[in-house]
Amino acid sequence: MATQSSRSAARLMLSPTVILLLVWMIVPLAMTLWFSLKRYNLLYPDRTGFNDFGNYTRFVLSPAFGGAVVNTLILVVGVLVITVVLGILIALLIDQPIWGQGIVRILVISPFFIMPPVAALIWKNMFMNPTNGLFAEAAKLLGMAPIDFLGQAPLASIILIVAWQWLPFATLILLTALQSLSSEELEAAEMDGAGAIQRFWYIMLPHLARAITVVVLIQTIFLLGIFGEILVTTNGGPGTASTTLPYLIYKEALLDFDVGTAAAGGVVAVILANIVAFFLMRAIGKNLDA
């Protein structure tokens, strides 16, 4: 990429891809913005025309909105905390030379290969079901009353399910980061008098900082859009106890058939996601600088 001609050639070669990606992004965004400003309800096809910001005010002022934003944040933060903490612990564990290491590693990453609705249904019906789930059986065996997980603690249960699915991802990235730590560095710390916990705190954790940042950023992107698990387990309920922003938008569009409000909700969600991204990058983005 040194000379003038090679630079312009590079631009020319890249342009089809860049233009395609741009169109792919701009058209849906423009249509969403367009719909979000219009009266567009499939149940009332006669009501048309511009609604100014009526869709936005209706979405934001609806009683479910505040709770949905809070639920979304709790879901994201909860899953992040569980996956990062447990991910580090499991990575430390399976980094040790143990018998059957290969099989253990495959078992550890396998939840990531199960499609989200399937995983959620397995948890719902086989583990958390209050009459014939495994947890209920275990509770009865111990002489306690079975807990109706999805009825009594719907959001916590969904966090558990989603964390179970994303744990392999975090573990895998943290494990590779851990393996790139030079053994001489740990030995030097050992000679310097650092015990196991001090070696973890002063040597391993700083070394993992960048990997943890990557895990947090990538997972946040995906966790903000968690939808399938909620749909198949609680349907956002009971009441709105487990309704998140994506689920609320889905409800507007496909249960209330209000395309205009759903589009406005989508735009609001994009704005909120960007606010989250802004603070996230300010908080931990410096870890990505070399």
Partner 1 sequence: MGKITLSQVRKSFGEVDVISGIDLDIEDGEFVVFVGPSGCGKSTLLRLIAGLEDTTSGSMQIDGQEATHLPPAKRGLAMVFQSYALYPHMTVRKNIAFPLKMAGMTADEQAKKVAHAANILNLTDYLDRRPGQLSGGQRQRVAIGRAIVREPAAFLFDEPLSNLDAALRVTMRQEISELHQSLKTTMIYVTHDQVEAMTMADKIVVLNAGRIEQVGSPLELYHSPRNLFVAGFIGSPKMNLISGAEAAKYNCATLGVRPEHIGVGAGDGHWQGVVGLSEHLGSDSFFKVSVDGIGTINVRANGELNVRAGDRIHLSPDLEKLHRFDAEGLALK
What's the number of CA atoms in the CB half-sphere (13 Å) around residue 185?
13
| CB burial of residue 146 (10 Å; 0-12, 13-18, 19+) | middle
Handedness of CA 283, 70, 147, 223 (dihedral sign): negative
Q: Angle at Cα 246 formed by Cα 245 and Cα 252, nearest 5°?
A: 90
Q: Does 289 bind partner 1 (CB under 8 A)?
A: no
Q: Does 288 bind partner 1 (CB under 8 A)?
A: no
Q: Does 201 bind partner 1 (CB under 8 A)?
A: no
Q: Does 193 bind partner 1 (CB under 8 A)?
A: yes
Cα separation, 67 vs 73, whole angstroms:
10
CB of 70 to partner 1, least distance (A): 36
Q: Does 176 bind partner 1 (CB under 8 A)?
A: no
* Residues 209-238 close enough to bind partner 1 by CB under 8 A: 209
Q: Is residue 242 a contact partner of residue 158, using CB atoms and an 8 Å limit?
A: yes
Cα separation, 51 vs 134, whole angstroms:
51
Cα separation, 74 vs 55, whole angstroms:
26
Q: What is the DSSP letter of 146?
A: P
Binding segment for partner 1 among 11-19, 150-158, 200-208, 216-224 (CB under 8 A)?
200-208
Q: Does 192 bind partner 1 (CB under 8 A)?
A: yes
CB of 192 to partner 1, least distance (A): 4
Binding segment for partner 1 among 79-87, 102-110, 138-146, 202-210 (CB under 8 A)?
202-210
Please select the residue that binds partner 1; options are 77, 188, 271, 288, rule is CB under 8 A.
188
SS3 258: strand
Pick the closer one to partner 1 by CB: 141 or 191.
191
Q: Does 194 bind partner 1 (CB under 8 A)?
A: yes
Pick the closer one to partner 1 by CB: 153 or 214.
214
Please select the residue that binds partner 1; options are 179, 191, 282, 289, rule is CB under 8 A.
191
Q: Is residue 146 a contact partner of residue 131, using CB atoms and an 8 Å limit?
A: yes
Q: Does 178 bind partner 1 (CB under 8 A)?
A: no
Q: Is residue 167 a contact partner of residue 86, using CB atoms and an 8 Å limit?
A: yes
Binding region for partner 1 (CB under 8 A) = 182, 184-185, 187-195, 198, 202-203, 206-207, 209
